[in-house]
């Protein structure tokens, strides 16, 4: 069972887009999945409702007097995998969600604000781990990187800066593609509708690397 959370206090870094893609990848692979939407705009349920293959994915949203901790526990009790999309700011609810996560992915574009937000988010995950007193796997994911074969210098700089600050960066990155910006309008999800496309293969590579990270973290926790 895995609770996978997308967290980055810098807004607009790609959390929601990646949460949509990861849920679609679980569905495409026939694996159980549910989602918790803590983005105040509540984009996940709206998006899933428009895509026939995703219509049945359960999306929990906070409301009434239900605590976020209760929502996460309830979803995790009924679904093997849960994806959580956080808002682009640190709140009490985001700290609770982090502390209950098995894996936290910190999306980061190349700008300095994303880098600073990414490091601050990384520190929050480290704190959540101390509070939870159990390992929380984590990785930075570079977002809107060039889809060309040659890695631009700026991406190398940002990767190095993260690593110098003690944050691990996934080898796979989430390439800049129009198809992700159009997804809500076109209702065309490469992950579901064109598995051979570069876009879908990109998400599959990210998925595989995240699952390997989770497996390593579980193995070291058991040892
Ligand atoms: N790989 C990508 N290629 C192209 N556009 C992207 C990519 N990832 C995200 N975007 C675009 O960037 C914008 C911000 O992405 P998104 O909403 O996923 O960020 P977020 O971190 O959830 O933002 P917020 O903090 O406001 O919740 C959106 O318009 C989205 O379509
Ligand atoms: Mg969002």
Nearest CA to ligand 1 atom 13: 12
Ligand that comes closest to the CA of residue 10: 1
> Residue 112 belongs to what domain range?
2-222
* Of 8-12, 51-55, 117-121, 148-152, the least confident: 148-152
CATH number at residue 145: 3.40.50.300
pTM of full prediction above 0.95: yes
pLDDT digits (tens, 9 = 90+) for 86-107: 999 989 999 999 999 999 999 9
Confirm or reject: Cβ of 20 under 6 Å from ligand 1: no
Please say if the pLDDT value at position 26 is more than 90. yes
How far does residue 14's CA lie from ligand 2's centre (Å)?
A: 7
Nearest CA to ligand 1 atom 29: 181
Average pLDDT over residues 163-168: 98
Confirm or reject: Cβ of 88 under 6 Å from ligand 1: yes
Percentage of the chain exceeding pLDDT 70: 100
* pLDDT of 155: 95
* pLDDT of 93: 93
Q: What is the mean pLDDT of the chain?
A: 96
pLDDT digits (tens, 9 = 90+) for 174-209: 999 999 999 999 999 999 999 999 999 999 999 999
pLDDT digits (tens, 9 = 90+) for 108-151: 999 999 999 999 999 999 999 999 999 999 999 999 999 777 78
Average pLDDT over residues 43-68: 95
* pLDDT of 204: 98
Distances (CA, A) of 91 to 84, 86, 98, 173: 14, 10, 11, 27
* pLDDT of 64: 80
Ligand that comes closest to the CA of residue 17: 1
Confirm or reject: Cβ of 129 under 6 Å from ligand 1: no
Q: Number of structural domains, the chain?
A: 1
């Amino acid at each position: 069972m895995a609770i996978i959370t997308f967290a980055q206090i810098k807004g607009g870094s790609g959390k929601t887009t990646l949460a949509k893609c990861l849920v679609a990848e679980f569905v495409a692979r026939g694996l159980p999945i549910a989602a918790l939407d803590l983005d105040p705009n509540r984009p996940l349920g709206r998006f899933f409702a428009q895509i026939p293959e995703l219509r049945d994915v359960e999306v929990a949203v906070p409301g009434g007097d239900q605590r976020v901790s209760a929502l996460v526990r309830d979803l995790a009790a009924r679904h093997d995998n849960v994806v959580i999309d956080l808002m682009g700011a640190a709140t009490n609810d985001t700290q609770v969600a982090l502390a209950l996560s098995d894996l936290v992915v910190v999306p980061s574009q190349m700008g300095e604000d994303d880098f600073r937000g990414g490091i601050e988010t990384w520190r929050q995950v480290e704190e959540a781990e101390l509070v939870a007193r159990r390992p929380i796997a984590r990785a930075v994911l570079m977002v809107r990187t060039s889809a060309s074969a040659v890695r631009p210098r700026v991406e190398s700089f940002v990767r190095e800066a993260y690593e110098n600050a003690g944050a691990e960066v996934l080898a796979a990155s989430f390439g800049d593609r129009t198809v992700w910006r159009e997804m809500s309008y076109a209702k065309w999800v490469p992950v579901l509708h064109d598995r051979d496309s570069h876009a879908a293969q990109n998400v599959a590579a990210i998925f595989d690397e995240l699952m390997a990270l989770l497996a390593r973290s579980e193995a070291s926790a058991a040892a």
